[in-house]
Amino acid sequence: MRLDFVTLLAITATNLCMLSAALPLIMGRGAGTAARWVQASVLLQGLAWAAIIASSSAWDQTLSTVSMAAALAQWAIFEALAIWLGPRPGRRLVHALVVAIPLGYTLGFSHYAFRVGWANLLLAALMLTVARATLYPQQPANRRWRLLLMGCLAAMAAFTAARGVLGAFTDAYPSFRTPHPVNIAAAVAANVTLVLGTVALLVAWRDEAEQQLRTLAMTDALTGLLNRRGFEVHGQALRTRAARQRQPLAALLLDLDHFKRINDAYGHDAGDRALALFARLAQSTAGPGDTVCRFGGEEFGVLLLHAGQEGVQRFDQRLRGRLQAESAEALGFPMDYSAGAALFHCGDEDLASLMARADVALYAAKEQGRRQLAMA
């Protein structure tokens, strides 16, 4: 069967344009920034292929330069990866290549070998830079979609580099329509990698959406802290770490004093602002390895790693001082809280038992007049 190169390009451009229309419908209005970058990438690739096909009929230099928008499509994928995987190496190189590819192409347009070699070889370098960005994530990410996307980008980089070498250093590629085996194989690969690359990006988007749902399920909407479920998950991990490494661990239960009076006197909006303020202060007073949550109502839980009785007292003093200093100015009325704390006994004690002892201490602090810390 004889494959026609222009027909293959037209199929690729058509598929990309259809995908660019379908992706916003699939992802919906609530799609995140990374998903928007993916949508932009598919649209830019479709426009690039359409422009290169149309350039053979009219406005050759203008349209073929516009086709270099494929470079912008790679930049869009790079930005999506930076959101999904954390900051990626090579950002400056990506930016430089995105500018250099169309600029050098149009300035050297009168010299066929130069423009073909310049555009294809630099585009191949750009694809390899984006492919490298799929590696070594700084946040959890499925390895399978990353490897699939990297394979698609690396394959297209190889074919693109081959076309650059043919056009720049041989007479075997006098036009982009030339039915050279490398050109035909590149067109087939473009269709195959379009499908597989889109699958990889859709899996990445699905993983992001699932992570957002997990985060919402474990986060208190008002304060942004962990909720009870999130506290159990993170707390169990912290308790296991403390037991395995024989590190001190302290649990605190904090209860805002006379919170009902705040709602009655100032309204529920003021009560919500009070909870948000207390949550922010508790979170910023705790260390980076500690866990803070809102159990519900005006009750909060804290796990302090590497903290014994003195560490608990220092945390309480800092938090209480900051709350007294900021609440009157921020809310218009002073706030205080009662606290109960328990120290983890290395061994078989579970998180529920530890928190139960802290709860008993909290009850004692309330019985003794509130506005104080009691140790179990």
Active site residues: 298
Structure tokens at 81: 């990866």
Distance CA 84, CA 123 (A): 23
Backbone angles phi, psi at 342, to 5 degrees: -140, 145
Measured distance CA(266)–CA(262) in Å, rounded: 6
Alpha carbons 152 and 156: distance in angstroms, whole number: 6
How many other C-beta atoms lie within 10 A of the C-beta of residue 91? 15
Whole-angstrom Cα Rg for the chain? 30
Nearby residues of 59 by Cβ (< 8 Å), 6 or more positions away = none
* Cα–Cα distance for residue pair 130/76, rounded to 1 Å: 10
Nearest to 168 by CA among 74, 105, 94, 98: 105
Contacts 24+ apart (CB under 8 A), 331-336: 331/266, 331/270, 331/273, 331/274, 331/277, 332/266, 332/270, 333/262, 333/265, 333/266, 333/270, 335/256, 335/257, 335/262, 335/274, 335/277, 335/278, 336/256, 336/257, 336/370, 336/371
Contact status, residue 359 vs residue 340, Cβ threshold 8 Å = yes
Name residue 141's amino acid: A
Cβ-Cβ contacts under 8 Å for 93 (sequence gap 6 or more):
129
Tell me the residue length of the chain. Answer: 376
Q: Are 341 and 358 in contact (CB under 8 A)?
A: yes
Find the distance separating the first CA and the last CA of the chain, reported in whole Å. 82
Which is nearest to 75 in space by CA: 90, 54, 57? 90
